[in-house]
Amino acid sequence: MTDTTALIRTEALGLIARKRLIAFGLPALILAYLAYVFVAFDLPGLAERARLDNARALVADSYSYKTHVTRDNRSGAVSIAIEGERKGTYPPDRPPAWVTRDGDRTTIDLGRGHVVQFTPDGLRYDVPGFGPIIATPSTARGVITNLGDDLPDWINRSKNRLAISTPAGRVSVTRNRTEVFRYFKGWELFFFTLDSPYHGHSLRQVAFGPRIDPARPNLVGAWADFWGNAMWHHADVAWAIFETILMAFLGTMGAALVALPLGFVAARNFTPVAGIRFGIRRVFDFLRGVDALIWTIVLARAFGPGPLTGALAILITDTGTFGKMFSEALENVDARQIEGVQSTGAPLVSRYRFGVIPQITPVLLSQTLYYLESNTRSATIIGAITGGGIGLLLTQAMITQKDWEEVSYYIILIIAMVMLMDWLSGLLRRRLITGAAR
């Protein structure tokens, strides 16, 4: 009796000691690994490499835009353009309401009491609580100002340049040009560009008001101008999203179609020859192991960039994944159902059709649909590499490094697209599988 108690005691003590070791050892191990990674990834050096001004531009651009009012100091010509782009230039005779032109004087109201005036020989900026700033650019002597030597930190002055940034906007004066930036919330010209007659009209006016463009009905014209918006390219973006979903759909469904017969070959209860089984399983492992990245590269060499390449890369990788899963599902089917069908004298095809397929349909459908959602994400990534769909648009918008509002727009669209596919695949799974064996 005492013997067994002692035995249990030593055993328990051993277990507790082991537990203690794990309880302290595991966190210590994780910490040690993280410390190693901290050094290996050069996290201390990250602070220097990080470009916070990039981050600021990105964040500011994603919720606001700026309108440039530019005066060419040689010719005296003034142009007003959203984001300084040609597509967003206001016609000279119709400036926005906050800019008034009177001969060679242009008055720009930046709001909050800030007023900038282009005078024939320079610029006058009335900053509330600071007083007027007068700057005169001259080809010979740089930029001359009325400012003293003691400057606040929002004014930056050198011989040839004056830069002022206030909460209301930004002003920059050089010898060649004077520029004023006014910031606005939102995404510029998201619905209509400036050349569209519908710009600046509310939804109510477009839908129910009198005809704006005499040549065509309001709704038709508005839709055409919105869909063909030269800055946001709504039609192209919609097409890119469709292309991405198409890649995912073709890849997933194609893989399921190819993998199903191969799954039979790889399943123990359908293929008695061990050699064939072994071979086909290694093929599955190979297809999965090579990975979508390498398949994409190899296929892009043969077919060129585009959605077909992406779809085939998904198809090949997932054939391996599905083949493995389907063959496992097939090995778990109940042989009695097949025997039952066989006992009625059914031929081989009917035996599979009525004995096997109904048993594996739920697994098959749920896996395929689950992968459809996950492949929408993969298709975005593959599109970024091989050039197709919304992934390509995203990388292109990023490379220009200025259209961050478009980047945010694409990111939102991608998230919405994946969530939509998630919802759809969940819905289909529930619809198709309830009533089946679960």
Partner 1 sequence: MAPPNGADMRRHYMDLTRRRRLYSGLALMVFVLLMSSGFVVADDRNAGGFWDGLHNIFDFPYQVVAEAGTKLDLLPAHLVHFCPALLETVNIAAVSTLVGGLAGLVLSLMSTRGLARFPRLIPLFRRAMDVMRAMPEIVIALVLIFVMGGGPVPAMIAIALHTAGALGKLFSEVNENADMKPLEGLESVGAGWMQRMMLGVMPQVAPNYLSYALLRFEINIRASAILGFVGAGGIGYELKNAMSWGQGKFDEAAAIFLLLFGAIVLFDQLSGRVRTRLTRGRVAR
Nearer to partner 1, 301 or 336 (CB): 301
Residues 6+ apart with CB under 8 A from 167: 112
Nearer to partner 1, 106 or 380 (CB): 380
Picking from 120, 106, 234, the residue whose alpha carbon sits closest to that of residue 182 is: 106
In the block, which residue shows the tokens 């996290």?
Answer: 43
**Shortest reach from residue 434's CB to partner 1, in Å:** 17
The kind and range of the H/E element at 273 are none
**Shortest reach from residue 315's CB to partner 1, in Å:** 11
Binding mask 48-77 for partner 1 (x = CB under 8 A): -xxxx-xx--x-------------------
Residues 6+ apart with CB under 8 A from 305: 386, 387, 388
Q: Determine which residue in the list 144, 163, 237, 290 makes contact with partner 1, applying CB under 8 A.
A: 290
d(CA 422, CA 369): 9
Asked if 171 touches partner 1 (CB under 8 A), the answer is: no
d(CA 105, CA 215): 37
Strand-pairing partners, residue 432, are none
d(CA 335, CA 356): 9
Contact assessment for residue 326 and residue 319, using Cβ atoms and an 8 Å cutoff: no
d(CA 222, CA 229): 10
Contact assessment for residue 159 and residue 143, using Cβ atoms and an 8 Å cutoff: yes
**Shortest reach from residue 244's CB to partner 1, in Å:** 10
Nearer to partner 1, 59 or 220 (CB): 59
In the block, which residue shows the tokens 């249990």?
Answer: 8
Give how far Cα 315 sits from Cα of 1, 147, 256, 258, 335, Å: 66, 68, 8, 9, 31
Picking from 98, 70, 95, 71, the residue whose alpha carbon sits closest to that of residue 83 is: 70
The footprint of partner 1 on this chain (CB under 8 A) covers a number of residues equal to 64
Binding mask 295-334 for partner 1 (x = CB under 8 A): --xxx-xxxxxxxxx-x-----------------------
Nearer to partner 1, 246 or 333 (CB): 246
d(CA 312, CA 319): 10
Q: Which stretch binds partner 1 (CB under 8 A): 101-109, 190-198, 242-250, 346-354?
A: 242-250
Asked if 216 touches partner 1 (CB under 8 A), the answer is: no
Q: How many Å separate Cα 29 from the centre of its chain?
A: 36
**Shortest reach from residue 90's CB to partner 1, in Å:** 31
Contact assessment for residue 122 and residue 136, using Cβ atoms and an 8 Å cutoff: yes
Q: Determine which residue in the list 151, 220, 293, 427 makes contact with partner 1, applying CB under 8 A.
A: 293
Asked if 46 touches partner 1 (CB under 8 A), the answer is: yes
Q: Which stretch binds partner 1 (CB under 8 A): 75-83, 132-140, 227-235, 294-302?
A: 294-302
Q: Which stretch binds partner 1 (CB under 8 A): 177-185, 213-221, 241-249, 261-269?
A: 241-249
Q: Determine which residue in the list 116, 133, 222, 292 makes contact with partner 1, applying CB under 8 A.
A: 292
**Shortest reach from residue 49's CB to partner 1, in Å:** 4
**Shortest reach from residue 421's CB to partner 1, in Å:** 9
Contact assessment for residue 376 and residue 421, using Cβ atoms and an 8 Å cutoff: yes
Q: Determine which residue in the list 81, 254, 269, 370 makes contact with partner 1, applying CB under 8 A.
A: 254
Helix, coil or strand: residue 119: strand
Contact assessment for residue 182 and residue 114, using Cβ atoms and an 8 Å cutoff: no
Asked if 285 touches partner 1 (CB under 8 A), the answer is: yes
Q: Which stretch binds partner 1 (CB under 8 A): 70-78, 111-119, 248-256, 354-362?
A: 248-256
**Shortest reach from residue 255's CB to partner 1, in Å:** 12
**Shortest reach from residue 25's CB to partner 1, in Å:** 15
Q: Determine which residue in the list 13, 35, 43, 436 makes contact with partner 1, applying CB under 8 A.
A: 43
First to last CA, the chain: 51
Strand-pairing partners, residue 348, are none
Residues that bind partner 1 (CB under 8 A): 30, 33-34, 37, 40-43, 46, 49-52, 54-55, 58, 243, 246-247, 249-250, 253-254, 285, 288-294, 297-299, 301-309, 311, 377-378, 380-381, 384-385, 387-388, 391, 394-395, 398, 401, 407, 411, 414-415, 418-419, 422
